[in-house]
Amino acid sequence: LLADDLVHKRFSEHTQLLALLSGRLETGKAARAAEGLFTAPDLDRATIYFSHYYFEVCRRLNRMDKFFERMGLWFYLKEMGFKTPVEMPEPSRSDCHAWSSHPLFHYFATILGVRPAEPGFRGVVIEPRLGSLTWAKGRFPHPGGGWIAAEFRLEEGKLRARVELPE
């Protein structure tokens, strides 16, 4: 794994995530960093807000199993009685942390897979990652006017899609 310090005593998800997202690791080193990210028991874990980068790596590596596993943090917050996302699990110093709301972004950009292909969303790429879900749908405003809507269903082992794009 990639170390957080020069003496190679500290290792964290943060370093592995940013290294993997950089796209600059050699293939073998990237594979080892990804494997360690998902299996090393003693890595310092990313907090809720930094998990945005974890979700980006899960999308790139098509590890939606790990994506949904990490989403458990947000479901735990609901069980704890929170109405807004916190910065990190207890002890939390912020009970309303906007940066921890990124699952809303990832619902559209990762699960539904709708991302801009060009500046200003003039083009769109759609690469859904349902993981273990059998369906997902959503709709959000396009910056040029109108809506982008997408619905995906797994039926008899086949992905069925309905997508609406503005002009």
In the numeric block, the tokens 């619905």 are attached to 151
Q: Are 152 and 135 in contact (CB under 8 A)?
A: yes
Q: What is the pLDDT of residue 76?
A: 85
Q: Are 47 and 54 in contact (CB under 8 A)?
A: no
The conformation of residue 158, written as its DSSP 8-state character, comes to: E
Q: Are 103 and 109 in contact (CB under 8 A)?
A: no
Q: What is the pLDDT of residue 119?
A: 95
* 50, amino acid identity: F
Greatest alpha-carbon pair distance for the chain in Å reads: 56
Per-residue pLDDT of the chain (167 residues; tens, 9 = 90+): 999 999 999 999 999 999 999 999 999 999 999 999 999 999 999 988 899 999 999 999 999 999 999 999 888 888 888 888 877 666 666 667 777 889 999 999 999 999 999 999 999 999 999 999 999 999 999 999 999 999 999 999 999 999 999 98
Q: Are 95 and 81 in contact (CB under 8 A)?
A: no
Distance CA 85, CA 137 (A): 23
